[in-house]
Amino acid sequence: MKYSFRCKCPITSALDIVGDKWSLVVIKQMLFEGRSTFKDFIDSPEAIATNILSTRLKMLENFGIIEKAKLPTNKKTNIYTLTEKGFSLTPVLIELTLWSKYHIQEFNPGLNLDKDLEKVEKNKEEAFELIIENYKKHKQSILKK
Amino acid sequence: MKYSFRCKCPITSALDIVGDKWSLVVIKQMLFEGRSTFKDFIDSPEAIATNILSTRLKMLENFGIIEKAKLPTNKKTNIYTLTEKGFSLTPVLIELTLWSKYHIQEFNPGLNLDKDLEKVEKNKEEAFELIIENYKKHKQSILKK
DNA sequence: TTTTATTACTTGCAAATTGAAAGTAAAAAA
DNA sequence: TTTTTTACTTTCAATTTGCAAGTAATAAAA
């Protein structure tokens, strides 16, 4: 399959993959909100359109950012989970959170900021590892059912 | 002016401001490539359309992410520079760079990766500060002409 | 076992965003 | 004074996002 990039810049290339309106939101919903099924995503506060979600999940799977599985006990529901490539976006998402904390409150008052954000700020790398570790456990637990 | 956000999530809110196709690219061009005029942006490898660039610069200025000035010796050219709100996106951009280094090479071989990226990885916070310091000096020098 | 409800999408069309190309006007440069 | 350059704007086209209805497979309920 042919991938189309604007140039050889790493930042622009990253954005050519996850820089659309919904990709990072879906990844955030998986990583921080534990969402893993089509219905989970549809029911999120952001309310993504079903045709957009479908297209986006296919694209993220195609890039190896997420993977799709089914439980032996359930032939219907797809379980979408992040791969390493996917949860390696944790630092990007955390830095966006911190940026919003300091710079977006004035435009969107009452942001839902995690109460542990100060701990995160004090030791970002440790926080990244903890979040990823938690996600891996979560992933194991939902695929074990 | 009314701002429209999808919800109260800090990540989604950040993306509601800078999550379009071009905003982070323009910010990256200012921060890392020293671009500051309309012509500079137009001449970048990414080749943004003029009507989109115009709209995007207005929006970024409106959110206080960039500011516009003119030199006393030049009534024509607008000088666009990052405010603190703007260059505080440095960590987001650096994390996108690192993500690309490890996860995007296979899709876009031959990425232009900075040779100092290993130093950056070793001490991210220090690298962020250095980049911001460098940008501030650059900003002072282009506004002093 | 049958019926109903739910989930996971697809489809068709509309709205919004992005973009190409031409044009305009002010200012700088020649 | 003339020409070139820059900074956009405008118009229309292409692409992306989104609404709403529909479909089919499967799970759940009766």
| pLDDT tens profile A55-72 | 999 999 999 999 999 998
At residue A72, the pLDDT reads 87
Domain tally for chain B?
1
Nearest neighbour of B96 by CB, restricted to A8, A92, A124? A92
CA-to-C1' span, B50 to C29 (A): 23
Q: Tell me if chain B has a CB within 8 Å of the CB of A63.
A: yes
pLDDT band for position A4 (cuts 50, 70, 90): confident
Alpha helices per DSSP H over A3-123:
10-18, 23-33, 38-42, 50-62, 84-87, 90-103, 117-122
In a domain, B4, yes or no: no
In 3D space, the residue among A126, A137, A47 whose CA is nearest the CA of residue A94 turns out to be A126
At residue B136, the pLDDT reads 96
CA distance A95 to chain B (A): 5
In a domain, A67, yes or no: yes
In a domain, A136, yes or no: yes
Q: What is the mean pLDDT of residues A127-143?
A: 95
- The H or E element spanning position B120 is helix B117-122
Q: Mark the ranges of chain B whose per-residue pLDDT is less than 50.
A: none
ipTM of the complex: 0.93
- The H or E element spanning position A82 is strand A74-82
Cα(A97)–Cα(B11) distance, rounded to whole angstroms?
5
CA distance B31 to chain A (A): 12
Nearest neighbour of A8 by CB, restricted to B5, B9, B108? B108
Q: Tell me: the pLDDT tens digits for B31-73?
A: 999 999 999 999 999 999 999 999 999 999 999 999 999 998 8
In a domain, A1, yes or no: no
Per CB-CB distance under 8 Å, the chain A contacts of B89 are 99
Domain that holds residue A136: 16-143
Here the CATH number for the domain that contains residue B64 is 1.10.10.10
Specify the long-range contacts of residues A57-61, CB closer than 8 Å, at least 24 apart.
Answer: A57/A26, A59/A23, A60/A23, A60/A26, A60/A27, A60/A86
In a domain, B45, yes or no: yes
Nearest CA in chain A to B64: A103
Per CB-CB distance under 8 Å, the chain A contacts of B100 are 10-11, 13-14
At residue B1, the pLDDT reads 53
